[in-house]
Amino acid sequence: MSFEAGWYAVAIAEGLEPGTSAGTRLFDKEIVVWRDQDGASHAWEDRCPHRGMRLSFGFVRGNHIACLYHGWQYDTAGQCRYIPAHPNLEVPDTIKVVTYPSAEAGGLVWIWSEMTAEAPVPPPEDFAARPVRSLYVERSPEIVAAILDEGIAGPFEILSPVSFATAIEGATLRLELQPFTAERTALHIVQTDGEPDAAEIAMWSEELRAVLEAVPPSALTPEAHLARAMR
């Protein structure tokens, strides 16, 4: 299977505190996700237009993010507003970071997978959810999705090609798949129902990761699929 352009969860919203930044990847594209002091989250290309330094290494100052390298500061629209070496310079509009459309829903930060001013479809609607954790799996997104689709790692309801739900330890969990790189996948897990049992869910998460990384390719062939269907 291949994944299409769309909205993808890239972080647990609660984990991105005001005044902090974090680097992530979507389809191997490097992205900085940061939250300003007013509480709004932003997702941009993780690259300062000046020297290419990752902005995720930078510092959030109020509602600006400053590059670690030379301190160039960008406002929430990605526009450079201040260059320390040229404090009196009126910064031209062309010095701007490429941004991604982003939104928050269900306790997750979502971004549209293409660099564009506006996403062609609205972001996911908000839903009640409690954050659980993010899992980073050393397996391709296609294989992780196939394992979840096939029920090899347990029974999952398929909500979309990148969204899954399951009931575990008295709780209903929703898993959002983030194609990180060709060989790495993130799963962002939130709890949508039931009482939390953090220890049980943590153990289940680790077991899930172990299964996702251990399932042999032979278990995903059409023949293996047929054999499972006939059981």
Partner 1 sequence: MVFHGVFAPESFAEFMRHRAARLSIAARPRRLEDARIEVEVEGDADLVDMFEMACSLGPLDCLVLDVERVGSEPGSRR
To the nearest 5 percent, what fractions of the chain are helix, strand and coil?
20, 35, 45
Task: Scan residues 35-64 and list those touching partner 1 (CB under 8 A).
Answer: 49
Q: Provide the minimum distance between the beta carbon of 66 and partner 1 in the complex, in angstroms, as a whole number.
A: 17
Residue number with CB closer to partner 1 (3 or 69): 69
What does the radius of gyration of the chain's CA atoms come to, in whole angstroms? 20
Instruction: Quote the CA–CA distance of 24 and 147 in Å, as a whole number.
Output: 23
Residue number with CB closer to partner 1 (92 or 216): 92
By CB under 8 A, is residue 222 in contact with partner 1? Answer: no
Q: Which residues contact 8 (CB under 8 A, 6 or more apart)?
A: 26, 110, 111, 113, 162, 176, 177, 178, 179
Return the ∠ at Cα 177 (arms to 171 and 178), rounded to 5°: 140
By CB under 8 A, is residue 95 in contact with partner 1? Answer: yes
Which of 4, 38, 93, 223 touches partner 1 by CB under 8 A?
93
Residue number with CB closer to partner 1 (53 or 95): 95
How far, rounded to the nearest angstrom, does the alpha carbon of residue 148 sit from its chain's CA centroid? 18
Tokens of 20: 């902090």
By CB under 8 A, is residue 228 in contact with partner 1? Answer: no
* Closest CA relative to residue 173, chosen from 138, 131, 213, 136: 131
By CB under 8 A, is residue 77 in contact with partner 1? Answer: no
Residue number with CB closer to partner 1 (25 or 54): 54
By CB under 8 A, is residue 195 in contact with partner 1? Answer: no
By CB under 8 A, is residue 118 in contact with partner 1? Answer: no
The one segment of 55-63, 83-91, 145-153, 220-228 that binds partner 1 by CB under 8 A: 83-91
Q: Provide the minimum distance between the beta carbon of 94 and partner 1 in the complex, in angstroms, as a whole number.
A: 5
Asked if 175 and 200 touch (Cβ cutoff 8 Å), the reply is: no
Residue number with CB closer to partner 1 (9 or 97): 97
Q: Provide the minimum distance between the beta carbon of 166 and partner 1 in the complex, in angstroms, as a whole number.
A: 48
Instruction: Quote the CA–CA distance of 53 and 67 in Å, as a whole number.
Output: 7
Contact residues: partner 1, CB under 8 A: 49, 86, 89-90, 92-95
